[in-house]
């Protein structure tokens, strides 16, 4: 009898427990599905600045994770003020987002990790001076852009990156910056094209073009890579950008890290192509106005004409050295042989004589 009572009590407790837990699980599941339902594909149906169906309205009412697209009838969005993006969104064009009343076009705020595809961002005008940088786009999140064009923005240049930005197949063109006195990048617009200038900010560019951007009294016509910032360029071209002082193509801060790989090209910029600190470029890259140039590092060139790397393609002296090294009867071969022999035990005078002969040959070849 006692066992039966115990069994009944145990099953009764189990039933009470299930009745208590089940609603909790159901509520949690409903919340989960509700969250999934909220992450949606939202469509912009109006090209106006505000109101139902506009880009501003859709962004304000979206939730993190949403994708925003545009009705085929909406080819241009005309803004009358900044558009703040303060949540993680994916925005697909093709569409032109145009600032019509002055001010910045897009401001991507902290923690709003976004992806933009096929957007043309234009018409921004931040006037220059303190707080003006990034008239087209200013980014303080993790922003990835595909097939976008940033053009026709003025005052603070095309883009300012303050955190992490990845550009793929993007064009940055015809932007301008009137960057104050260029002494304090935290206050002034830093570049006509792109300013990557916050401490620790990172910019990666692949298959991009930076062209026809200008800067007046700022730090770069094309790209400024600021203090402790990182810039990585792959198959990217920077040409025909201008600055009124230094850094027509690129200006590199002393503690910046800059890497160019896989057929990058920096040429035709005024008054110079690259100014400031050192950078790393592999042998496929083109620095300057002539092809077939080996890439080198430049340090401290501030105003004078930058040296062009020496070509090794078709040089007669290089061909002569190769021929001499392949001929055991040549004088160069003999001197190198004597020098190596001296290292293996010949007297100091013999070694010195061999080295002097080798130095003389080098002077003859390269003077």
* Residues 277-329: tens digit of each pLDDT: 888 988 899 988 644 343 344 444 444 444 455 555 566 767 777 787 778 78
- pLDDT tens-digit map of 32-69: 444 444 579 999 999 999 999 999 999 999 999 999 99
Residue 17 has pLDDT above 60, yes or no: no
Q: How confident is the model at residue 358 (pLDDT cuts 50, 70, 90)?
A: low
Looking at the chain, the whole-number percentage of residues with pLDDT higher than 90 is 51
pLDDT at 33: 43
- pLDDT tens-digit map of 157-175: 999 999 999 999 999 999 9
DSSP per position, 202-262: EEEEES-EEES-EESSSSBSSEEE-TT-EEEEES-EEES-EESSS-SSEEE-TT-EEEEES
pLDDT at 185: 39
SS3 assignment, position 178: coil
Query: Between the CA atoms of 108, 114, 120 and 121, what dihedral angle is there, to the nearest 10 degrees?
Result: 0
Q: Angle at CA 209, nearest 5°, toward 215 and 190?
A: 25
CA distance 104 to 123: 8
Q: What is the largest CA-CA distance in the chain?
A: 116
Q: How confident is the model at residue 110 (pLDDT cuts 50, 70, 90)?
A: confident
CA distance 178 to 53: 36
Mean pLDDT of the residues in the chain: 79
SS3 assignment, position 38: helix
pLDDT at 9: 47
Q: How confident is the model at residue 360 (pLDDT cuts 50, 70, 90)?
A: low
Two tokens at 328? 């055991």
Among 6-10, 89-93, 95-99, 244-248, where is mean pLDDT lowest? Answer: 6-10
Q: How confident is the model at residue 345 (pLDDT cuts 50, 70, 90)?
A: low
**Residue of 68, 60, 67, 129 lying closest to 95 (CA atoms):** 68
pLDDT at 301: 41
- pLDDT tens-digit map of 114-161: 999 999 999 999 987 777 889 999 999 999 999 999 999 999 899 999
pLDDT at 315: 66
Give the residue-averaged pLDDT of 106-120.
94
pLDDT at 34: 44
- What phi and psi, each to the nearest 5 degrees, are found at residue 179? -80, 45
**Residue of 115, 183, 106, 175 lying closest to 147 (CA atoms):** 115
The residue behind tokens 């401001």 is: 107
Give the residue-averaged pLDDT of 327-351.
69
Give the residue-averaged pLDDT of 337-366.
58
Residue 29 has pLDDT above 60, yes or no: no
pLDDT at 278: 83
């Amino acid at each position: 009898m006692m066992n039966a009572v115990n069994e009944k009590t145990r099953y009764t407790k189990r039933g009470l427990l299930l009745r208590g837990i089940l609603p909790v699980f159901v509520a949690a599941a409903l919340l989960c599905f509700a969250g999934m339902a909220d992450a949606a594909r939202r469509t912009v149906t109006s090209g106006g600045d505000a109101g139902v169906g506009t880009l501003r309205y859709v962004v304000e009412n979206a939730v993190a994770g949403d994708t925003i697209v545009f009705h085929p009838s909406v080819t241009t969005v005309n803004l009358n003020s900044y558009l703040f993006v303060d949540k993680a969104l994916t925005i697909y064009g093709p569409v032109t987002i145009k600032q019509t009343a002055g001010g910045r076009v897009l401001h991507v705020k902290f923690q709003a990790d976004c992806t933009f595809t096929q957007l043309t961002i234009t018409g921004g005008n931040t006037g220059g001076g303190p707080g003006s940088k990034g008239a087209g786009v200013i980014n303080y999140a993790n922003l990835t852009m595909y097939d976008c064009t940033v053009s026709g923005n003025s005052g603070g240049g095309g883009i300012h990156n303050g955190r992490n930005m990845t550009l793929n197949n993007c064009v940055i063109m015809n932007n301008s910056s009137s960057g104050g006195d260029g002494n304090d990048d935290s206050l002034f617009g830093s570049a006509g094209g792109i300013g990557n200038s916050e401490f620790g900010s990172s910019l990666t560019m692949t298959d991009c073009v930076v062209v026809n951007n200008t800067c007046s009294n700022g730090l770069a016509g094309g790209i400024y890579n600021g203090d402790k910032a990182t810039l990585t360029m792959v198959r990217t071209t920077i040409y025909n950008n201008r600055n009124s002082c230094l850094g027509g193509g690129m200006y590199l801060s002393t503690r910046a890290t800059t890497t160019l790989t896989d057929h990058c090209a920096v040429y035709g910029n005024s008054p110079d192509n690259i100014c400031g600190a050192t950078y790393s470029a592999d042998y496929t890259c083109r620095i300057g106005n002539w092809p077939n140039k080996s890439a080198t590092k430049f340090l401290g060139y501030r105003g004078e004409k930058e040296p062009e790397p020496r070509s090794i393609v078709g040089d007669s002296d290089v061909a002569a050295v190769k021929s001499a090294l392949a001929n055991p009867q040549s004088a160069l071969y003999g001197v190198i042989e004597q020098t190596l022999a001296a290292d293996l035990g010949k007297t100091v005078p013999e070694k010195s004589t061999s080295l002097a002969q080798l130095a003389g040959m080098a002077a003859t070849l390269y003077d």
